[in-house]
Amino acid sequence: MSPDRLAELRRQRALVAQHLAWIDSELIATGAGQPPDPSIETAAAVIAPPLLPTPEAHANPAVALANKKADEIIEQYRATEALDPSSTKRGCLLLIGAVFALGGAVVLAIYYFGYAR
């Protein structure tokens, strides 16, 4: 696992912990000072799983399949977010063409309405 990905996962984990702590505090505030229902998972219970796979996770084929699918989805989005030089070049050329066409239309309109009458 790359250090950047690990750092991003840790950042996301901290954000989720912060959000769940806020939800717990809101539940306490709305419940007139009573703690949240113990049957509901708390922030610590949700965030408890480690980031790195454990040996038991490798033994479970469902977990291994889920991890593989997650990695494929991450790679798919990483590939679509990358800049594609050919599409960038095509977009720039289309923009230049549109600007020239608009400029030509403005010049023709000025000529027609200003000088041709």
Residues 25-45: pLDDT tens digits? 887 878 755 555 555 555 455
Q: Of 33, 71, 5, 113, nearest to 63 (Cα)? A: 71
What does pTM read for this prediction? 0.32
Cβ–Cβ under 8 Å, residues 24 and 42: yes
* pLDDT greater at residue 110 or residue 32: 110
What tens digit of pLDDT does each residue of 41-91 get?
Answer: 554 555 545 555 555 555 677 777 888 888 888 887 776 655 677 888 899
Q: Is 105 a residue whose pLDDT tops 80?
A: yes
Contact assessment for residue 32 and residue 58, using Cβ atoms and an 8 Å cutoff: no
More confident residue, 39 or 93: 93
Residue 84 is predicted with a pLDDT of: 72
Contact 24, 36 (CB under 8 A): yes
Q: What does the pLDDT read at residue 94?
A: 97
Residue type, 31: G
